[in-house]
Amino acid sequence: MEILAYGVASYERPLLAKAFDGRHDLRCLDVDLDADTAVLADGYEIVSTNVNSRVDADVLRRIADGGTKLVTQRSTGFNNIDLDAAARRGITVMRVARYSPHSVAEFAWALAQAVNRRIPRAVIRTRDFDFRLDGLLGRDMHGKTVGVVGTGKIGEVFTRIAHGHGCRLVGWDIAENPACRALGMEYVDLPDLLAQSDVVSLHVPLTPDTHHLVDGAALDLMREEALLVNTSRGGLIDSFALVAALRRGLLGGVALDVYEEEEHFFYRDLSDRVVTDDVLARLMTYPNVLVTSHQAFFTREAVDQILGTTVRNVDDYLAGKTTENTLTEPR
């Protein structure tokens, strides 16, 4: 079977080839799947995508007409895929339902500490041999209240990390996690969580119900020195409202590994270009804001699991199996 993989980064190419181990012919493209590149999938029954691909109804129509029967996404998130349109077009969609939750949770805590202790600013200074401490004052995490928005697998690991640092734990989710309860977590309404927490970390998927979960009204509820961390999906935060809050001096720090419009920027070298996204550019100007390029998942263990699951998805599809990774089947 010949497989077309979209949006394959340079680091990913040899790892993906190793994962498939010659069992299938693999063609890797560095461009994402969208309306302009859909034509490249003609003749490929199986295509693999990443989170920056835009797999909407029009793209699905085009690749279905070209013979595609399976879209297997190399990520857990799938909000970029129109699942109803895929089912109507007779396309099976699969994803990576789970990989190391430690990769994202550990990175989220690292971001919180980096912003809290002003580490990026300190590194920039010391590289210029400026060893002053002005503006670098942080706070002990011990004894602070940490709010975990979403207490699934990743949220649970993040909770364990915060518990290990002696933090008070509050959580919000549609269903309580007994493991988090056992660590002393108190479940509260989201407004209460935002008002109580010194650190708020987001670990929920992006759905119509969670889009702009943290909007202007939510930001107004947060403590003036609170830290906001997002390693989940950019659309959870209203970016315009966030900039407005920062302009007013709200929040002690913000750490973003994701951004609403990241598909236009992340995983690309734009260092020699003018970035036209005014919101992203403004966020970069604040000394208490840290932005990374959707890399929380990026550990050897997690990448191995993601690519290994992608290979199994292909094998399961060819064997006619439905698994926890199957999002849609042809109607």
The residues annotated as belonging to the active site are 233, 262, 294
The CA distance from 180 to 242, in Å, is 29
From the list 33, 28, 1, the residue with the least C-alpha distance to 13 is 28
SS3 string of the chain?
Answer: CEEEECCCCCCHHHHHHHHHCCCCEEEECCCCCCCCCHHHHCCCCEEEECCCCCECHHHHHHHHHCCCCEEEECCCCCCCECHHHHHHCCCEEECCCCCCHHHHHHHHHHHHHHHHCCHHHHHHHHHCCCCCCCCCCCCCCCCCEEEEECCCHHHHHHHHHHHHCCCEEEEECCCCCHHHHHCCCEECCHHHHHHHCCEEEECCCCCCCCCCCECHHHHHHCCCCCEEEECCCHHHECHHHHHHHHHCCCCCEEEECCCCCHHHCCCCCCCCCCCCCHHHHHHHHCCCEEECCCCCCCCHHHHHHHHHHHHHHHHHHHCCCCCCCEEECCC
Under 8 Å between Cβ of 257 and 231: yes
The total number of residues written for the chain in this structure = 331
The CA distance from 46 to 253, in Å, is 43
